[in-house]
């Protein structure tokens, strides 16, 4: 079993500090199931590679009843050779400090995104390369996967289910290791030890920062927990409660606060009406509501026969449950199964489920995204999903001074990461339009004040060279 990690950060040999392993030495670690070694085949200022080589003691595994299966399969199996949960255990034991982001001397470096490349040999993946990509690409990796043939001496036996994968990314070493720690056993879809509640803690410890937003959060959680339904349900609920996503109770409370602040003007109704009118006008027949929340826009879209296919996506599972109930989706789906669907996903990850709609509505959502994630959001929507029309609404920060209930200098919603003035929104929209080839028009929503404008603002993007 082989895991190599390479960096071209300068000086590249600093990798040794982060891994707590000096590049000039060979490091050996006895483990309960074999032996691990770490060494550096290259260690220069420009490029440094650390290899973690894991030798599994197959005989010891059989004696401990972990060889897998009975009879011959106890002795003849892939366990000693493939990347599996043994590799995760080795990562935790041999690279433990790096996995937990601990360092005595190089704290800043440990928190700095570095150009990294990880290569893992013999990763089992019965579902093929597509699953490998679905797991790693949303996290920002460039993935190359080389499938091994089953046996070079008997080429007509065909290909095996094992891949050598290379993952390139710029991120912290801790992030890279936590991704591998969780996803390798997910791909292998097996574990060499008994899985119970403690496994949820591990998943949360290593996944809280990235898993809740991952489009495959359910598959990852289910397989990581060895397909135990109760554990999976429990873990998903706890992941949804982690700080990455506000809990539904918080969201509902926050939404109520926002509603109270805005209700003097019935602003949200005006906003939704403006969005529906624009969608009708641009002739869209299929629409996706991204960050659909409780489904208020979806309810209005369903009333219009022009829209033959409607989808709602949100990062919060609880919001989707609320939408499902308030739209009476179960009943609706029985009558018009093709017309509407809801699904969980995140706007900052590329997702093929977002493709194929005439228009996308993103109503009061972008201000909930962390500014460093905006660039990813832009590409997800305008480069990959690429609908003919995109409608985005967001508050106009200038108007906040008009609300007596809103203390000066605060935003309308505790979860808002930013609120833009009219010029800021316009500048952003123009830049995005120019970059991705969309024509942009800006509109005011709500009563307009001479000085500070209207409370809400809407940008309508139309793909150039096509009639949306």
CB-nearer residue toward ligand SAH: 246 or 433: 246
CB 258, min distance to ligand SAH, A: 8
Stretch in the footprint of ligand SAH (CB under 6 A) among 169-177, 182-190, 291-299, 422-430: 291-299
Stretch in the footprint of ligand SAH (CB under 6 A) among 221-229, 289-297, 398-406, 439-447: 289-297
Rule CB under 6 A: choose which of 21, 192, 226, 368 binds ligand SAH.
Answer: 368
d(CA 158, CA 263): 65
CB-nearer residue toward ligand SAH: 162 or 307: 307
In the chain the first and final C-alpha atoms are separated, in Å, by 52
Rule CB under 6 A: choose which of 91, 365, 381, 440 binds ligand SAH.
Answer: 365
d(CA 223, CA 313): 23
Stretch in the footprint of ligand SAH (CB under 6 A) among 119-127, 225-233, 361-369, 417-425: 361-369
CB 218, min distance to ligand SAH, A: 15
Burial 207-230 (b: 16+ CB within 10 A, else e): beebbbbbbbbebbbbbbbbeeee
Stretch in the footprint of ligand SAH (CB under 6 A) among 57-65, 204-212, 311-319, 430-438: 311-319
Q: Annotate each residue in 328-347 with x if it binds ligand SAH (CB under 6 A) or - if it does not, as one string.
A: ------------------xx
CB-nearer residue toward ligand SAH: 145 or 341: 341
CB 456, min distance to ligand SAH, A: 10
CB 459, min distance to ligand SAH, A: 15
Residue 316 touches ligand SAH, criterion: CB under 6 A: yes
Q: Which phi and psi angles does 174 have, rounded to 5°?
A: -60, -40
CB closest to ligand SAH, residue no: 293
Query: Total residues contacting ligand SAH (rule CB under 6 A)?
Result: 16
Residue 459 touches ligand SAH, criterion: CB under 6 A: no
CB 94, min distance to ligand SAH, A: 35
CB 98, min distance to ligand SAH, A: 28
Residue 216 touches ligand SAH, criterion: CB under 6 A: no
CB-nearer residue toward ligand SAH: 366 or 429: 366
Residue 278 touches ligand SAH, criterion: CB under 6 A: no
CB 121, min distance to ligand SAH, A: 34
CB 400, min distance to ligand SAH, A: 17
Residue 392 touches ligand SAH, criterion: CB under 6 A: no
CB-nearer residue toward ligand SAH: 187 or 239: 239
Residue 398 touches ligand SAH, criterion: CB under 6 A: no
Rule CB under 6 A: choose which of 80, 140, 207, 293 binds ligand SAH.
Answer: 293
Binding site for ligand SAH (CB under 6 A): 291-293, 296, 314-316, 319, 346-348, 363-365, 368-369
């Amino acid at each position: 079993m082989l895991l190599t990690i390479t960096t071209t950060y300068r000086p590249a040999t600093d990798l040794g500090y982060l891994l707590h392993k000096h590049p000039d030495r060979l490091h050996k670690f006895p483990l309960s199931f074999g032996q691990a070694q770490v060494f550096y085949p290259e260690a220069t200022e420009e490029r440094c590679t650390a290899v973690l080589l894991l030798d599994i003691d197959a005989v010891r595994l059989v004696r401990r009843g972990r060889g897998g299966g009975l009879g011959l399969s106890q002795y003849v199996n892939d366990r000693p050779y493939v990347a599996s949960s043994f590799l995760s255990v080795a990562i935790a034991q041999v690279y433990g400090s790096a996995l937990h982001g601990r360092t005595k001397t190089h704290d800043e470096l440990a928190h700095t995104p570095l150009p990294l490349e990880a290569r893992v040999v013999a990763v089992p993946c019965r579902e093929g390369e597509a699953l490998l990509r679905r797991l790693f690409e949303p996290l920002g990796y460039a993935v190359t996967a080389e499938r091994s043939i089953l046996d070079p001496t008997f080429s007509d036996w065909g290909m095996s289910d094992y891949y050598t994968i290379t993952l390139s990314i710029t991120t912290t070493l801790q992030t890279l290791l936590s991704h591998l720690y969780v996803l390798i056993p997910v791909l292998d879809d097996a574990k060499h030890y008994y899985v119970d509640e403690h496994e949820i803690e591990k998943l949360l410890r290593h996944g809280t920062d990235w898993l809740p937003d991952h489009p495959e959060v359910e598959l990852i959680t289910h397989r990581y927990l060895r397909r135990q339904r109760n554990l999976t349900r429990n873990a998903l609920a706890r992941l949804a409660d982690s700080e990455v996503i506000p809990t539904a109770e918080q969201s509902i409370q926050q939404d109520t606060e926002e509603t109270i602040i805005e209700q003097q003007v019935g602003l949200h109704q005006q906003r939704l009406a403006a969005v529906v009118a624009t969608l009708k006008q641009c002739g869209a027949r299929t629409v996706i509501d991204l960050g659909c929340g409780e489904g208020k826009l979806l309810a209005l879209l369903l009333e219009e026969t022009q829209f033959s296919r409607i989808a709602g996506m949100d990062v919060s599972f609880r919001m989707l449950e609320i939408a499902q109930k308030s739209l009476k989706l179960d009943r609706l789906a029985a009558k018009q199964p093709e017309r509407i669907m809801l699904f969980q996903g995140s706007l900052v990850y590329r997702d093929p489920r977002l493709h194929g709609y005439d228009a996308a509505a993103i109503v009061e959502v972008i201000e909930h995204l962390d500014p460093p994630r905006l660039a990813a959001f832009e590409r997800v929507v305008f480069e990959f999903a690429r609908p003919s029309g995109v409608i985005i609404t967001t508050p106009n920060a200038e108007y906040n001074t008009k609300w007596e209930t809103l203390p000066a200098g605060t935003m309308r919603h505790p979860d808002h990461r930013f609120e833009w003035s009219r010029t800021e929104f316009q500048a952003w929209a123009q830049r995005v339009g120019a970059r991705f080839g969309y024509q942009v028009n800006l509109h005011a929503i709500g009563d307009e004040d001479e000085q500070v404008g209207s409370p809400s603002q809407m940008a309508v993007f139309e793909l150039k060279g096509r009639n949306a």
